[in-house]
Amino acid sequence: MKFLIQLITIGISAFILELVMPWWCIAIVAFAAGYALKSKANFLAGLFGIGLLWLIKAWMLDASASAPLTERVAAIFSLSKPLLMLVTALVGGLVGGFAAMTGASLKKAKRSDSYYPQ
């Protein structure tokens, strides 16, 4: 449950922040959610939170397209259209995943420092 909340929070906040900030705001969002909403699978929450957001957005833009730009760009990179969508999701997802993981590991660090002195 916590995982799902974390994932959805990442997706929604990234969606909002992307309206006003460059692409790398996804790292900030995932980092913050990794820290504040730490779950058992932070990496996966970031990966799917951002990956799905990017996939759905890309898919929606492509679905309403008046010209086959996705196919054209895919061909420039010698990819197929579904593969280009997947690569898009993966690029966003990986950044989200690692950022979420980083955020989560910061929290653990704090806890261990304050509660379990060595």
Give 41 or 58: the residue with its C-beta nearer to other proteins. Answer: 58
Least separation, in Å, of the C-beta of 54 and other proteins? 5
Residue 6 CA to residue 23 CA, distance in Å, equals: 20
Residue 95 CA to residue 11 CA, distance in Å, equals: 13
Least separation, in Å, of the C-beta of 12 and other proteins? 14
Give 5 or 112: the residue with its C-beta nearer to other proteins. Answer: 112
Question: Binding residues for other proteins, per CB under 8 A?
Answer: 18-19, 22-24, 27, 31, 54, 57-58, 61-62, 64-67, 69-73, 75-76, 87-88, 91-92, 94-95, 98-99, 101-102, 105-106, 108-109, 112-113, 118
Residue 118 CA to residue 13 CA, distance in Å, equals: 38
The token pair that represents 90 in the structure block: 């993966």
Least separation, in Å, of the C-beta of 101 and other proteins? 5
**Residues whose CB is less than 8 angstroms from the CB of residue 57 and which lie 6 or more positions away in sequence, other chains included:** 15
Give 2 or 108: the residue with its C-beta nearer to other proteins. Answer: 108
Q: State the helix-helix crossing angle for 81-115 and 69-76, rounded to 10 degrees.
A: 80
